[in-house]
Amino acid sequence: MILKTSLLLVSALALEVAAAEPPPALSPARTMTEAGMVDVRTLSPKLAEDMKYAGTDNFTGAVVEGYLAPKCFLRTRAAEALARVEATLHNQDLALRVWDCYRPARAVTAFVRWAGDLSDTSTKPTHYPNLGKDKLLGEYIAPVSGHSRGATVDLTLMHCAAGKCEPLAMGTDFDFFDPLAHTADPRITATQKANRERLLKAMAAEGFVNYPQEWWHFTLPAAAPPVIFDVPVE
């Protein structure tokens, strides 16, 4: 265990050294209120939530540390912007489904720990079929996540009709560790490309910026503080 922990620390430190900026400081906030975050459902009550890390349907195969409830919290400014996106889409018979929002720093540490356990490959067929698990640290799993700042959200777009909403075809599922998940990957179909662009346009209208390696990942830079948080989601 000591050796495994040491190897994880070495990997994390190596990634931090390679980063362009030093890692952000950890906020002393102990509550969501102190962190300046709100439950997005208080602003957008009908927002569809499928909070993956609060359950077992995620790349770790287990409930992730720090997720005590399936809720979407964001910094207030980001939550307000997301609510406006949802309201605009509602008028177009579209809707959002969110998979992750604010992510406690301890959850990111749990991801790194999981990635370092090369003996556990139970989720490989679903989440990284074309990669060895030893390739996930770095490009796909980093020791610090922008989600921990409270201004990043993972989501998809749905079409709604007759009171029922169905996800649009995007080319991959959430947390699919493969270049096919890159927003502009040329292998996706014309329909999938159009749907990704539709999501991009809707989010960009409120200032959200897409992470090009993950079509589902958006950040509102204006709402992101210079620190990360470790308040549990509850």
Query: Which residues have a catalytic role annotated?
Result: 214
Helical segments of 117-228, H only: 124-127, 190-204
Whole-angstrom Cα distance, residue 188 to residue 193? 6
- Estimate the share of the chain in helix, then strand, then coil, as percent rounded to the nearest 5: 35, 20, 45
Query: What is the rounded CA–CA span in Å between residue 93 and residue 77?
Result: 25
Q: How far is CA 99 from the centre of its chain?
A: 7
Determine phi and psi for 125, rounding to 5 degrees: -60, -30
Residue 172, helix vs strand vs coil:
coil
- Residue identified by tokens 């210079």 is 226
The C-alpha atoms of residue 138 and residue 233 are separated, in whole angstroms, by 25
Task: Report the distance separating Cα 100 and Cα 74, nearest Å.
Answer: 10
Say if residues 41 and 71 touch (Cβ distance below 8 Å): yes
